[in-house]
């Protein structure tokens, strides 16, 4: 299947915070945003469309998505889909995309990830599937993992302390923090996931961690502090992310990367954000 390196991009679901932010990033990048979004039944009933940077985007009920998909494939050659929906529906969505032979990027977390990958492969689909779309955060994770592989035990005898702060609605421990401590464990400073300090209290976030009040509803402040046994040496790795633009922009880069792979007829069809980074596919 041929595709343009600057494809029309469709975002599902534009009514969600990440979907809406990603659709806005598509427009900011000067790319064509397809003015249609597959969404949940309750959302489609509530409103007929949602505005994205002044563009009215029609919401399509799940019962109508197959007929809509046929029209979209004809109307938008080289179409790439982006999925930022919900864990409860992401598996059904991926199976649908694969059946229809549409390249897709999945930033939605959760769901049955093993089944998701099986469905993508069974459909012989082109896809980028990753739980973390922030390209700089992914690069940071990959760098630590590379360090761990090259210099195992480099921080033996050090104590690791981890604090991660996210919006109140995020009940689970950050997947990024889990991945990072796995790499640091190989460097010789292991801790358990239960040792990660989760901060969800607004006053602590603003007063102690410095989270801007306007970003309490969407941020990722992580600190990884390594201290030598005698307390004389300290290393600190930190990232403070406000808002969702880092993830939205990384997702757009992934869509452009995927379109290029389709156009090249790449034998590899399933990718992650490490593949995107290695290709230098970043604006």
Q: Are 91 and 231 in contact (CB under 8 A)?
A: no
Residue for token digits 């990048």?
29
The residue count of the chain comes to 283
Residue 98: both structure tokens together: 């694969």
174: which DSSP letter?
P
Question: Which one from 17, 61, 73, 170 is the annotated catalytic residue?
Answer: 170
33: which DSSP letter?
B
188 Cβ contact list (under 8 Å, min separation 6): 152, 153, 154, 155, 156, 157, 158
104 Cβ contact list (under 8 Å, min separation 6): 80, 81, 82, 83, 94, 97, 125, 126, 127, 128, 258
Residue for token digits 């998909």?
69
Catalytic residue list contains 20: no
The C-alpha atoms of residue 33 and residue 51 are separated, in whole angstroms, by: 12
H and E: helices and strands count for the chain = 10, 12
Q: What angle do CA 135, 138, 140 make, to 5 degrees?
A: 110
Question: Which one from 135, 166, 215, 219 is the annotated catalytic residue?
Answer: 166
The C-alpha atoms of residue 64 and residue 70 are separated, in whole angstroms, by: 11
Residue 215: both structure tokens together: 């970003």
Catalytic residue list contains 219: no
| Catalytic residue ranges | 166, 170
């Amino acid at each position: 299947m041929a595709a343009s390196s600057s494809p029309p991009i469709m975002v599902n679901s534009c009514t969600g915070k990440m979907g809406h932010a990603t659709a806005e990033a598509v427009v900011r990048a000067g790319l064509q945003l397809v003015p249609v979004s597959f969404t949940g039944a309750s959302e489609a009933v509530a409103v007929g469309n949602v505005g994205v940077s002044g563009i009215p985007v029609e919401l399509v009920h799940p019962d109508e998505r197959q007929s809509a998909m046929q029209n979209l494939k004809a109307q938008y050659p080289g179409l790439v889909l982006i999925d930022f929906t919900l864990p409860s529906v992401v598996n059904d969505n991926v199976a649908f995309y694969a059946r229809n032979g549409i390249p897709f990027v999945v930033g939605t977390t959760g769901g049955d990830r093993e089944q998701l990958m099986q469905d993508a492969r069974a459909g012989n689909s082109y896809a980028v599937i990753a739980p973390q779309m922030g390209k700089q955060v992914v690069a940071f994770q990959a760098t630590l993992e590379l360090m761990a592989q090259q210099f195992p035990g480099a921080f033996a005898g050090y104590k690791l302390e981890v604090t991660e702060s996210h919006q109140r609605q995020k009940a689970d421990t950050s997947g990024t923090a889990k991945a990072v401590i796995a790499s640091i464990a190989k460097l010789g400073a292991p801790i358990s996931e239960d040792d990660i300090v989760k901060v969800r209290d607004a006053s602590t976030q603003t007063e102690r961690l410095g989270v801007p009040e306007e970003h309490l509803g969407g941020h990722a402040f992580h600190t990884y502090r390594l201290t030598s046994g005698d307390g004389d040496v300290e290393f600190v790795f930190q990232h403070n992310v406000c808002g969702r633009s880092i993830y939205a922009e990384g997702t757009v880069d992934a869509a452009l990367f995927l379109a290029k792979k389709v156009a090249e007829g790449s034998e590899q069809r399933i990718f992650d954000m490490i593949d995107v980074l290695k290709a230098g596919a970043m604006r």
